[in-house]
Amino acid sequence: MDVLELIKQQVESNPVVIYMKGTPEMPRCGFSQRATQALAATGLPFAYVNVMEDPEIFDNLPRYADWPTFPQIYVGGELIGGCDITLELYQSGELQKLMEEAVGKSNTVTDTPSA
C-alpha cells in the first residue's frame, strides 16, 4: 500500500488521531507531549501513530496535508493543526466539542435494510 493511502486510511478510520514523536506514555518531544496531554484531558479516546517508528510516514506525512511539522492532529478526518492550535482549541473548549462530535459520529450505528 502506498504510504499516502495508508495515512489516508488511518486518518479516515480513526475519529481522532495524532501523528507524534513517541507515544502518549513516552513522548519524544515537548510539542507531542503537550498535544497529547490536551487530547487526554478531554477524556475521549484517540489513536496515535509514532512517526519515529515508521520512516515512510515521517517523511511523507508533511505532504499529506501540507503541514510541515509534528505533531499533526486529525479530528473527524480533518487536520486541526499542531501543538499550539490544539492547545488553543483545548483552552477555548472547542477541542472538547470537536472530539465529542467526531467520536459520536464514529459510534453511530446506522440501520441497514434487511434483504
Residue 96 domain-assigned? Answer: yes
The pLDDT tens digits for 69-82 are 999 999 999 999 99
How many folded domains does the chain comprise? 1
Domain assignment present for residue 106? The answer is no
CATH of the domain at 80: 3.40.30.10
Query: For residue 114, what pLDDT band results from cuts at 50, 70 and 90?
Result: very low
Cell of 62: 508533511
- Whether residue 35 is contained in a domain is answered as yes
Asked if residue 10 is part of any domain, the answer here is yes
How does DSSP assign 71-115, residue by residue? -EEEETTEEEESHHHHHHHHHHTHHHHHHHHHHHHHHPPPP----
Give the residue carrying C-alpha cell 478526518: 77
115 within a domain of the structure (yes/no): no
Q: Is residue 111 part of a domain?
A: no
Residue 77: name the closest of 19, 1, 13 by CA. 13
What domain range is 36 assigned to? 3-100
Q: 75 by DSSP, 3-state: which?
A: strand
* Total-model pTM: 0.90
